[in-house]
Amino acid sequence: MRMLAILLVHWVLPVLAHGQPVERLGTIGDSLTDEYFEQSYDYARAWTELLVEERGLTFGPTASDAGEPGGSWGEPRRTGFEDNWARSGATTDDALAAGQHSGVAEGAIERDISHILLYIGGNDFSPWAGAYDEIYDGLWNQAEIDSWIAGRVANLRFMLDTVQPTGARIVLFGILDFSVMPWLNQGDYDDPTRREAVAAAVGQFGDEIQSLAEQRALVFLDVFALGRAVFGTNLAPRTVLLVGNVEIDLTGRDTPSGGLPTAAFVDDGVHPNTVLQGVWANVAMTALNLGFDADLPLLSEAEILAAAGIPYGGSDTLENEIGPLAGFVTVYRQLFADGFESGDTAIWSSTIP
């Protein structure tokens, strides 16, 4: 236990500083974070792109801007921002195999990454790359689910073991329940009760990720809870989200040319469209603001809609729909004040007065 205390002291010191500017961001992730301009749905914009284009933040240059041969960094980065290491389709196993964690750690040491956004694990519970079918079809018992989750948590722990000693400030994201995707719930996975069984496992994984954030004194962003607030549950789904008093169709897919931006998803029915990605951009900035006093101005609802080419509907409505974004962020901090020893972890949560 004492060794844990010593490690916490070492890792958490960067968190103690207030008003830390976001000099350069790094990410570990999958297609929900990977640049959309790498994909066929390049008419939409990912939350990482919105942070760059709308708020002037940086993940480093694109390969073309950096003058890389052929305009590419090579795998796993391809052509996008140098330190957005998220790769479409990646599971936690894939991220480790591709060296996302070591790439970001190198960026923190050599390229002045000040903050790391670690958002990976959704594909581990997807129909195309993970455990979704086994749980949906009732093939796994609870012990097997527990074992699968333990393996994912071990992967995240290994990533943190690599990036935390760099001193970069870290936001650890939970994961989204992929059951919200029209490709899935309007296709072969049309049983809401069985989808909700998968959601329970995803929520369990999210709880384990939060526990890991607490153990490491990190900032935690509860993506599972955010997804539930936006989409409802599988048994009681929402169909419309009001953003800027404009109805976003939570069951809808955009056209292949991007002609229906009020659809919540791009044309593949899997990836969130620009408006929802704008919400994710704001909650990411909220985590940076609450955790590290980054003082980043959030996108207004009018700006989120404008980024998607949608006229503002005349009034702000999002907070009334899903509550304040601060409610999805918990900050675990190490304090060195009277009454706290070096190994004690004090908890401050945006949800606690």
- pLDDT of 120 over the 80 cut: yes
- pLDDT of 6 over the 80 cut: no
User: Which residues, including other chains, have CB under 8 Å from residue 64's CB and lie 6 or more apart?
Assistant: 71, 79
Q: Which of 8-12, 61-65, 193-197, 291-295 is predicted least confidently?
A: 8-12
Amino acid identity, position 287: A
- pLDDT of 351 over the 70 cut: no
pLDDT at res. 5: 30
The per-residue pLDDT for range 152-168, each reduced to its tens digit, is 999 999 999 999 999 99
Sequential DSSP letters for 138-175: T-S-HHHHHHHHHHHHHHHHHHHHHHGGGT-EEEEE--
- pLDDT of 7 over the 90 cut: no
Q: Reduce the DSSP state of residue 118 to 3 states and report it.
A: strand
- pLDDT of 347 over the 60 cut: no
Average pLDDT over residues 209-222: 97
pLDDT-above-70 percentage for the chain: 89
HSE of 106 in the Cβ direction (CA atoms, 13 Å)? 9
Q: For residue 145, which of 132, 129, 154 has the smallest C-alpha distance?
A: 132
Q: Give the pTM.
A: 0.90
- Report how far residue 143's alpha carbon sits from residue 135's, in angstroms, rounded to the nearest whole number: 12
pLDDT at res. 334: 53
pLDDT at res. 336: 36
The per-residue pLDDT for range 223-261, each reduced to its tens digit, is 999 999 999 999 999 999 999 999 999 999 999 999 999
Q: Which long-range contacts (CB under 8 A, 24 or more apart) does 181-188 make?
A: 181/265, 181/269, 181/270, 182/251, 182/252, 182/253, 182/265, 182/269, 183/265, 183/268, 183/269, 183/270, 184/127, 184/269, 184/270, 185/234, 185/237, 186/251, 186/269
C-beta separation of 319 from 327 below 8 A: no
| Average pLDDT for the chain | 90
pLDDT at res. 130: 84
- pLDDT of 216 over the 90 cut: yes
The per-residue pLDDT for range 274-313, each reduced to its tens digit, is 999 999 999 999 999 999 999 999 999 999 999 999 999 9
Both tokens assigned to 195: 């989808």
Q: For residue 270, which of 332, 170, 336, 178 has the smallest C-alpha distance?
A: 178
- Report how far residue 148's alpha carbon sits from residue 144's, in angstroms, rounded to the nearest whole number: 6
- Report how far residue 24's alpha carbon sits from residue 114's, in angstroms, rounded to the nearest whole number: 5
pLDDT at res. 19: 61
- pLDDT of 142 over the 80 cut: yes
Q: Which comes out higher in pLDDT, residue 176 or 13? A: 176
Q: Which long-range contacts (CB under 8 A, 24 or more apart) does 201-205 make?
A: 201/125, 201/131, 201/135, 201/145, 201/149, 202/125, 202/175, 202/176, 202/177, 202/178, 203/177, 204/145, 204/149, 205/121, 205/124, 205/125, 205/149, 205/152, 205/153, 205/174, 205/175
Asked if the peptide bond before residue 192 counts as cis, ω within 30 degrees of 0, the response is: no
Level-2 CATH architecture, domain 2-228+276-298+324-349 = 3-Layer(aba) Sandwich (3.40)
User: Which residue's entry shows tokens 């479409």?
Assistant: 88
- Report how far residue 163's alpha carbon sits from residue 114's, in angstroms, rounded to the nearest whole number: 11
- Report how far residue 297's alpha carbon sits from residue 289's, in angstroms, rounded to the nearest whole number: 9
- Report how far residue 13's alpha carbon sits from residue 34's, in angstroms, rounded to the nearest whole number: 30
Domain boundaries, the chain: 2-228+276-298+324-349
Q: For residue 272, which of 5, 104, 48, 118 has the smallest C-alpha distance?
A: 48
Average pLDDT over residues 70-98: 96
Please tell me the total number of residues recorded for the chain in this structure.
Answer: 353
The per-residue pLDDT for range 304-337, each reduced to its tens digit, is 999 999 999 999 999 999 999 999 999 997 543 3
Average pLDDT over residues 159-179: 97
- pLDDT of 349 over the 80 cut: no
C-beta separation of 295 from 18 below 8 A: no
